[in-house]
Chain A
Amino acid sequence: MATESFIRRCRNGYAKLLRLYPKAHRERFGEGMEQTFNDLCRERQQSGEGWFGFLLGTFCETSVAIIKENTTHIMQNKNLMRLALGAGLALLIPLALTLLGGVHWSPRALTFYFVLLLGAGLAYELIASKPGTIWHRAAVGIALAAALLLVWMDAAVGTEDDNSGGLMYLGVLVLGIGAIIAHFRPPGMARALFATALTQALVAVIAMIAWGQYLELLVLNGFFIALWVGSALLFRRASRFAAVPK
């Protein structure tokens, strides 16, 4: 016979599991599923049968259904399919050049860049889908393009030689941490991007001291700093528009 607190813990655990369903499914059936699970628990309690098999079976069955529903949800997302198609088409160029023998991109590199492009596209969709102005969308676009370019260049250098310096450049992407802290809201994003620009400048100074190549590093880092600052200013503008009562 299971105790009340054990059954309560099971119910809470099941309710938490249901959170993994896509939002639409959860909102429509979440309550009914919890009720059904509670009924099954009551039935089990009354029958006096063991709980381990029941809980394992029910949690596994629901987990499989969650995976199925999420997969269906993703496949129905036309934007995602468009993004995947776009990323695939963009990578047809290096693939064709590889097949023709002009350059050599390994399957691993192609997969990496596909995931990178798709990830950047998804991030844009996620952030830009929140209510905001054209300034907000432009700011998101520039920041993501800069981040994508930085990672792309860093990975490209990494495949060629020792990439100890390249790793330092990845540190510039404090933007990600800042964005999470700021919950992607314009004022916080503006601060995170100014911090990113500052980090990029610091990395540039260190790189110049370590390797020389002043002009090359100045142009390259100046370009990125301009993108970060530009995006930060756009976010700041977006936050001002959002603050004006309509």
Chain B
Amino acid sequence: MTKNATQGPLTPAVLHILLALSTEERHGYGIMKQVEFESQGKVKMGPGTLYGSLGRMLEADLIRESHKKVDPELDDERRVYYQITAVGQATLAAELERYREVVAVAKKKQLAPVSFAYGH
């Protein structure tokens, strides 16, 4: 996972979680809602996928756990918050750069998403 997360393309779940954590630390449900919001409802992550990815990202040092605290908007339960690390930020930047390069190549070829979808 370490190698995959820092060197190769990220899985969609890991990419979306890093994006969700890029601006502020969040707890599990907070990450889930942020991913849903940023993808305009196209990406919906279940708890199994979310926490499986979080486990692998913690191992790869992409994120870290912060101290438990209460989310005032939800309830009085103390929750674990997750923060992006410097490694995570670098990995996210590298991945976004890779996406930019891919999009640049597609633009140079004057390819639009619709041309893939309909095979023109």
Q: Are B47 and A33 in contact (CB under 8 A)?
A: yes
Q: Does A44 contact B (CB under 8 A)?
A: no
- For B74, give its contact among A29, A39, A57, A61 (CB under 8 Å): A39
Specify the main secondary structure of chain A where it touches its partner.
helix
Cα(A61)–Cα(B19), bound, Å: 22
22 cross-chain CB contacts under 8 A: A25-B55, A32-B28, A33-B47, A35-B28, A35-B77, A36-B32, A36-B51, A37-B47, A39-B29, A39-B74, A40-B47, A42-B74, A58-B47, A61-B47, A62-B46, A62-B47, A63-B48, A65-B47, A65-B48, A65-B49, A65-B52, A66-B48
Given contacts A35-B79, A36-B32, contact A57 B51 (CB under 8 A): no
A36-83 with Cβ < 8 A to chain B = 36-37, 39-40, 42, 57-58, 61-66, 68-69
Q: Are B48 and A64 in contact (CB under 8 A)?
A: yes
Contact with A along B43-80 (1 / 0, CB 8 A): 00011111110110000000000000000001001011
Given contacts A57-B46, A58-B47, A65-B46, contact A36 B52 (CB under 8 A): no
Chain A residues with a Cβ under 8 A of chain B:
25, 28-29, 31-33, 35-37, 39-40, 42, 57-58, 61-66, 68-69
Q: Are A28 and B50 in contact (CB under 8 A)?
A: no
Q: Are A40 and B29 in contact (CB under 8 A)?
A: yes
| Nearest B residue to A62, CB-CB | B48
Cα(A28)–Cα(B28), bound, Å: 13
| Nearest A residue to B1, CB-CB | A72
How near does chain A come to B28, taking the closest CB pair, in angstroms? Answer: 4
B1-53 with Cβ < 8 A to chain A = 27-29, 32, 46-52
- For A29, give its contact among B32, B49, B54 (CB under 8 Å): B54
A42: which B residues are within 8 A, CB to CB? 74
Most buried by B among A31, A36, A62, A65: A36
Q: Are B49 and A61 in contact (CB under 8 A)?
A: yes
Cα(A4)–Cα(B82), bound, Å: 30
| Nearest A residue to B45, CB-CB | A61
Q: Are A28 and B79 in contact (CB under 8 A)?
A: no
Cα(A62)–Cα(B27), bound, Å: 18
How near does chain A come to B32, taking the closest CB pair, in angstroms? Answer: 7
How near does chain A come to B102, taking the closest CB pair, in angstroms? Answer: 28
